[in-house]
């Protein structure tokens, strides 16, 4: 992954601001994976996109992740600490995933383009069937329907691309029941980019106001000098 300097981080933030979260994840992924042609991102398996986003998050902002959730059973607020290295352990280094063959059907793993196509579907069951329909690349001659194989196909597609859906089952500290925690790699990384971009804008704002410096002049200062000037401005 290429390093991201402050001016680039700001321009990444600027171009991501107005995008839909799916497009934004692909924009971030394009930074994480300069080896992949931009037009290919929407057709990469979701697990490959997520792995790229998580690696970029670890490289830029560290591997430690905190997930907040409420227990599905008792409502207890839970905080979960995750390590990106552990999430990525065993992740395939390849960008391709094997198709799933089931009762004469053949399915490819889902891509970002599939998620975008389903973004307005509000019924979970209908969305799951439409997704399977999109991913179906071969059908049996027999009159079997997609609904017959839905749950088994979902299970096998998940096994074929485990990072596509970052869900973990955690035991609640209060009631001991298992509850589902989920992590959206695009949202996670975008949240950090946004927070750091706002921090940088705040620094430029303070120093521009005090000394009349431009953004470029502020970014050209060494971190030590910039911190020292910011201290003086605040005093």
Residue from 10, 172, 189, 218 binding Zn ion (CB under 5 A): 172
CA dihedral 111, 114, 119, 120 (to 10 degrees): -170
Under rule CB under 5 A, residue 76 binds Zn ion: yes
Binding mask 119-158 vs Zn ion (x if CB under 5 A, - otherwise)? ----------------------------------------
Under rule CB under 5 A, residue 74 binds Zn ion: yes
Q: By C-beta, is 50 or 179 nearer to Zn ion? A: 179
Residue from 174, 220, 227, 228 binding Zn ion (CB under 5 A): 174
Long-range own/partner contacts, residues 219-228 (CB < 8 A, 24 or more apart)? 219/5, 219/6, 219/7
Part in contact with Zn ion (CB under 5 A); list of ranges 11-19, 70-78, 83-91, 141-149: 70-78
Distance set, CA 172 to CA 69, 73, 77, 78, 163 (Å): 10, 9, 9, 7, 23
Nearest by Cα to 167 from 72, 31, 95, 101: 72
Q: By C-beta, is 74 or 233 nearer to Zn ion? A: 74
H-run or E-run covering 180: strand 178-183
Q: By C-beta, is 74 or 232 nearer to Zn ion? A: 74
Under rule CB under 5 A, residue 175 binds Zn ion: yes
CA 57 to chain centre: 9
CA 36 to chain centre: 17
Phi, psi of 110 (to 5 degrees): -70, 150
Part in contact with Zn ion (CB under 5 A); list of ranges 35-43, 71-79, 130-138, 148-156: 71-79
Least Cβ distance, residue 3 to Zn ion (angstroms):
42
For 96-113, what is the HEC assignment? CCCCEEECCEEECCCEHH
Q: How many residues bind Zn ion (CB under 5 A)?
A: 7
Least Cβ distance, residue 173 to Zn ion (angstroms):
7
Under rule CB under 5 A, residue 78 binds Zn ion: no
Least Cβ distance, residue 183 to Zn ion (angstroms):
19
- Say if CB 178 and CB 170 are below 8 A apart: yes
Part in contact with Zn ion (CB under 5 A); list of ranges 107-115, 152-160, 166-174, 219-227: 166-174
Q: By C-beta, is 174 or 232 nearer to Zn ion? A: 174
CA dihedral 106, 112, 116, 122 (to 10 degrees): 70
Under rule CB under 5 A, residue 171 binds Zn ion: no
Residue from 10, 26, 56, 71 binding Zn ion (CB under 5 A): 71
Interface residues toward Zn ion, by CB under 5 A: 71, 73-74, 76, 172, 174-175
């Amino acid at each position: 992954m290429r390093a991201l300097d402050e001016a680039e981080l700001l321009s990444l933030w600027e171009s991501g601001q107005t995008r839909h979260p799916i497009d934004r994840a692909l924009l971030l992924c394009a930074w994480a994976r300069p080896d992949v042609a931009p037009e290919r991102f929407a057709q990469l398996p979701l697990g490959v996109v997520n792995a790229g986003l998580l690696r970029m998050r670890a490289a830029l902002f560290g591997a430690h992740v905190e997930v907040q959730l409420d227990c599905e059973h008792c409502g207890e607020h839970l905080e979960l600490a995750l390590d990106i290295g552990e999430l990525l352990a065993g992740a395939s280094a390849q960008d391709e995933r094997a198709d799933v063959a089931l009762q004469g059907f053949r399915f490819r793993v889902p891509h970002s383009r599939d998620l975008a196509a389903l973004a307005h579907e509000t019924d979970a069951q209908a969305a799951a069937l439409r997704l399977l329909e999109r991913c179906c690349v071969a059908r049996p001659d027999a009159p079997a329907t997609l609904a017959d194989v839905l749950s088994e196909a979902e299970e096998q597609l998940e096994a074929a691309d485990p990072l596509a859906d970052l869900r973990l089952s955690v035991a609640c500290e209060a009631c001991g029941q298992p509850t589902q925690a989920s992590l959206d790699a695009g949202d996670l990384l975008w949240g950090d980019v946004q927070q750091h971009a706002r921090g940088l804008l705040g620094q430029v704002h303070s120093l521009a106001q005090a000394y009349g410096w431009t953004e470029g002049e502020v970014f050209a200062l060494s971190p030590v000098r910039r911190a020292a000037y910011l201290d003086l401005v605040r005093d």
